[in-house]
A and B are shown apart, each in its own frame.
Chain A
Amino acid sequence: MTSSSLMAGLRDHPNEIDRMGRFAAMKRVGVASAIVLGLLSACKNPIGSRYEPDDAAQERGLLAINEAGCAACHEIPGVAWPKGRLGPSLDGFDDVGMIAGQLPNRPDLLAVFIRNAPSVKRHTTMPAMPVTQSEAADIAAYLYGLDDD
């Protein structure tokens, strides 16, 4: 796993990169470094392979979602209540183009984003969440496991 493959991932979505605006270059450095760090800590799933989380992880994920209160801002399938609308709905997460419009859509990156979104994307409306690494991974597992297409 190298940074070049990451950059390749970003190149697949040129529009997203263009949208970053004036400070795109500066940001990209920050983003890339964050991603590199993120991948170092969790690089079990090679790019391109379908992510197939195990059931136990998903179960733990749902529990962690409820305990952290994610649904106060997101509509999350399987969480009957609440269904907040401050953030986007997380239904069919693996079909979303990019995480927060910037990160390649992968469970490991999602886990990083969940724990500390502002460090990845300045001024995001997603705050850092008090979940442990393994909880974040479980949550990511849950969100990716929702869609069984």
Chain B
Amino acid sequence: MIDALWGWPPPVLDPAGPYADKVTTLAWALFGMGVVVTAIVCAALWLAVRGSPRMKALIGGERTIWIGGIAFPGVVLLGLLVWGLTLTASLTQPIRGDEMRIRITGEMWWFRVQYLNADGDIVMEDANELHLPVGVPVVLELEGADVIHSFWVPHLSGKKDMIPGRRTLLRVQADRPGEFGGLCAEYCGSQHALMGFVAIAHKESDWQTWFDDRTTRVARTEMLAETAPPDAMPYPGDAAAYPMELGTLERYDARRGMRLFMESGCAACHRIAGTEANGLAGPDLTHVGSRRSLGAGILPNNRGTMMGWIGDSQSIKPGNRMPSYDVLSAEDIGHIAAFLELQK
């Protein structure tokens, strides 16, 4: 089970960065205003209906409208408006241009995540999760690939739509390490409900290590694919933990999985850097083994869910764009899963 990334406490009121934090303050003020005004109206209503004749006479004139309906709300609204506009202005400071940039594209029904270098070239691609360093402002370039989606990680900031033909910019910044969940917030068709996302904030140094590791790992896979001869890969993890008492057990073979992946059609939609798999329709699987979830934030990432997703993603996320590969045998799916697990 994926840990609760949101829920209680409400992420809108539990900010993890400056762009959400100010809004939380505003939200509390607004709730306070709401409670006070509701109380005033209810009290006035009560007095109007049940009050003493003197009280009723006091309320029962146009003065009440001028005070309660015009002056009071006028002052409150004006105050709020000034606050709101100031806050809007401070949250939409012009982008300097030298911030770290990550491009996130909403697709039916997942998020493509591309890390950009200073020149705007894509240096690494991932899906459905965003790793960002704590304390560093990041500019997200949001795009819609097919229909309109909306990017929303409430711990970090308000939402922003991902619109085909446009590029919207959203600034986020995390002030503490952690994992912050999000969901697509614009109705985008059938599986809108299961289009999840997670932002993972690392300490800045950890993030750098992670980033370097990832980029070099790509190179390693490349080398592996070109040079290493096909050979039975050991069962992932500690082999000793899996004493195979039944002599006929087939160990999953990542090499074979790779071949199956290329031959069974997976590679037509998915890309794995350093291999011949270069499909662009589906999520990039170069780092799928290290993702915390599958199916756009809806499944934990383990052997069983990987196999289940490949074999029958349609029963888990009906209508998603990946067909159920139930034509593959269980063993073959196992091989592919073993291969994908290695794509860290």
Contact = CB atoms under 8 A, between A and B. Distances in A.
Interface of A: 30, 34, 37-38, 41, 66-73, 79-82, 84-86, 112, 115-120, 123-130, 132-133
Nearest to B245: A41
B307 A34 contact: no
Contact of B304 (A72, A80, A120): A72
Q: A-B pairs with the 7 shortest C-beta distances?
A: A72-B308, A69-B304, A69-B305, A86-B312, A127-B330, A85-B315, A119-B248
9 contacts: A69-B303, A72-B304, A72-B306, A72-B307, A80-B1, A84-B316, A118-B331, A119-B248, A120-B246
Interface stretch (B49-57, B82-90, B233-241): B233-241
A38 B242 CA distance: 15
A123 B332 CA distance: 11
A38 B316 CA distance: 33
A38 B246 contact: yes
Interface in B289-330: 298-300, 302-309, 311-312, 315-316, 324, 326, 329-330
A115 B311 CA distance: 18
Nearest to B243: A133
Nearest to B315: A85
Given A68-B303, A81-B298, 16 more contacts: A66-B1, A68-B304, A69-B299, A70-B304, A82-B298, A112-B246, A115-B246, A116-B246, A117-B330, A119-B248, A125-B330, A127-B330, A128-B249, A128-B252, A129-B304, A132-B241
A124 B250 CA distance: 13
Contact of A72 (B247, B248, B250, B299): B299
Contact of A119 (B242, B250, B252, B312): B250
Interface of B: 1, 235-237, 241-250, 252, 298-300, 302-309, 311-312, 315-316, 324, 326, 329-331, 333-334
Given A86-B326, A127-B334, A37 B246 contact: yes
A36 B323 CA distance: 39
Contacts of B331: 118, 127-128
A45 B324 CA distance: 39
A67 B301 CA distance: 9
B115 to A, nearest CB: 28
Contacts of A68: 302-304
A73 B307 contact: yes
B299 A86 contact: no
Given A86-B311, A127-B334, A73 B304 contact: yes
Contact of A86 (B250, B315, B334): B315
A99 to B, nearest CB: 15
A133 B246 CA distance: 11
Nearest to A124: B330
A70 B306 CA distance: 10
A137 B304 CA distance: 17
Contacts of A86: 308, 311-312, 315, 324, 326
A80 B300 CA distance: 13
A14 to B, nearest CB: 26
Contacts of A132: 241-242
Contacts of A125: 311, 326, 329-330
Contacts of A119: 246, 248-250
Contacts of B243: 133
B318 to A, nearest CB: 10
A34 B174 CA distance: 54
Nearest to B311: A86
